[in-house]
Amino acid sequence: MSLRIIFMGTPEFSVPTLSALAQTGHKIVAVYSQPPRPGGRRGLELQKSPVHQAAELLGFPVLTPPNFKDAADRQAFKDFDADVAVVVAYGLLLPEAILNGTRQGCYNGHASLLPRWRGAAPIQRAIMAGDRETGMMVMRMDKGLDTGPVALTKIVAIAPDMTAGDLHDRLMLAGAGLMTEAMEKLDGGNLPLVPQSENGVLYAAKISKAETRIDFTKPAVDVHNHVRGLSPFPGAWLEVEIGGKLERVKVLQSALAERSGPAGTVLSDDLTVACGEGAVQLTRLQKAGGKPLPAVEFLRGTPVAAGTRLA
The pLDDT, as a whole number, for residue 243 is 79
Task: Judge whether 127 and 158 are in contact, CB under 8 Å.
Answer: yes
Q: What is the CATH number of the domain that holds 164?
A: 3.40.50.170
Which pLDDT value is given to residue 42? 67
Q: Which of 208, 246, 247, 255 is nearest to 230 (CA)?
A: 208
Same domain for 185 and 215, yes or no, is: no
Residues 121 and 269 in one domain: no
At which of 169, 203, 237 does a domain end? 203
Whether residues 227 and 168 fall in one domain = no
- Cis before residue 115, ω within 30 degrees of 0? yes
Identify whether 140 is part of a domain: yes
Q: State the pLDDT at residue 282.
A: 98
| Torsion sign across C-alpha atoms 257, 263, 266, 271 | positive
Which residues in the chain land under pLDDT 50? none
54, part of any domain: yes
Q: What is the pLDDT of residue 248?
A: 94
- Tell which of 153, 182, 203 closes a domain: 203
Annotated binding site for (6S)-5,6,7,8-tetrahydrofolate: 112-115
Domain CATH code at residue 250: 3.10.25.10
Residues 111 and 236 in one domain: no
For residue 286, give its domain range: 209-301
pLDDT, residue 44, reads: 75
Question: Rounded to an integer, what distance in angstroms lies between the CA atom of residue 201 and that of residue 212?
Answer: 24
Of 165, 149, 154, 160, residue with least CA distance to 112? 154
State the binding site. 112-115
| Same-domain pairing of 188 and 264 | no
Domain count within the chain:
2
- Prediction pTM value: 0.95
Which residue, 203, 229, 263, sits at the end of a domain?
203
